[in-house]
A and B are shown apart, each in its own frame.
Chain A
C-alpha cells in the first residue's frame, strides 16, 4: 500500500524560482491538505481540499497555490520562492471531513530556498 506519496523528498531553489510539490494518495480519500513545519515548531495548515474541484485556505496560504482536479492528486505550487518558505512540507489525507477524520501523512518534502 503506497498511502500518501510526496515528491520530491528534497529540493533546493533560488529566490524567485517556481516549483510544484506533488502529492498523491491511493486510498480514495476525499480530504487532502498541505502543512508546513519550520524547525522546532508544530505544523501549520497551508491549503486544504474537501473534494475534487474544491479548495480552501488554511492558516498560512500566502505564496502558495493549489488545485484539485482529481481525487488522487493535490499539488502545491510555489509561484516565486522566498527564503521564508524554507521548510518541511507535509501532505495529508483522510477518508472524510467528518468523524473520525484520521489523517494519513506523507513522509515530507524538505525545501530550501537560497
Chain B
C-alpha cells in the first residue's frame, strides 16, 4: 500500500481557516485520496475524498496537487468541534482496504 506522511500536530484558532497537508509521493494512478477524522472517544468519520480534481463538500475542501504527490484538506472556518485527529489515506480503486497512519492531531484554540 502506498504511504502517506502527515505532520503529527497542528494548531489553529477558532473561526480561522485550517490547511492540513498530506504527502503521498508513491501514489499510483488508481489510488483515491480519502480523509477521515476521529473526534475524542469516537470512531473515525468520513470527511472527503478525491482522485485528481479539487473537491468540496459541506464539511471541507480537498485540494490535490497537479502531480498528485500531495494534497491539502481545508477547513474553511475552524470550530472547537473540529478538534480531532485527521487521517489522510490512499485507497485503491478496486480494493477494499484502508490503511490508517497516525494522522494529524488538530487543536483549535478559542
CB distance from B4 to the nearest CB of A (A): 11
A108 touches B99 (CB 8 A): no
- What sequence of 0s and 1s flags, for each residue 67-98 of chain B, a beta carbon within 8 Å of any chain A beta carbon? 00000000000000000000100010111111
Chain A interface size band reads 20 to 34
- What sequence of 0s and 1s flags, for each residue 19-50 of chain A, a beta carbon within 8 Å of any chain B beta carbon? 00000000000010101000001111100101
**A75 interfacial contact with B, CB 8 Å:** no
A108 touches B94 (CB 8 A): no
A98 touches B97 (CB 8 A): no
Please give me the residue from chain B that is nearest to A49 by CB atom.
B96
B residues 14-42 in Cβ contact with A at 8 Å: 32, 34, 36, 41-42
In the complex, how many residues of chain B place their beta carbon closer than 8 angstroms to a beta carbon of chain A? 23
| A98 and B30 alpha carbons, distance in the complex (Å) | 11
| A71 and B95 alpha carbons, distance in the complex (Å) | 19
Q: Which residues of B contact A108 (CB under 8 A)?
A: 41-43
**A81 interfacial contact with B, CB 8 Å:** no
B46 touches A102 (CB 8 A): yes
| A108 and B32 alpha carbons, distance in the complex (Å) | 26
| A105 and B98 alpha carbons, distance in the complex (Å) | 12
Q: Which residues of A contact B44 (CB under 8 A)?
A: 43, 90, 92, 103, 105
| A94 and B49 alpha carbons, distance in the complex (Å) | 14
CB distance from B2 to the nearest CB of A (A): 15
A106 touches B102 (CB 8 A): no
Q: Which residues of A contact B99 (CB under 8 A)?
A: 45, 59
**A67 interfacial contact with B, CB 8 Å:** no
| A59 and B87 alpha carbons, distance in the complex (Å) | 18
| A75 and B78 alpha carbons, distance in the complex (Å) | 38
CB distance from A99 to the nearest CB of B (A): 6
CB distance from A78 to the nearest CB of B (A): 19
Which A residues contact B (CB, under 8 angstroms)?
4, 31, 33, 35, 41-45, 48, 50, 58-59, 90, 92, 94, 97-108
Which B residues contact A (CB, under 8 angstroms)?
32, 34, 36, 41-46, 49, 87, 91, 93-103
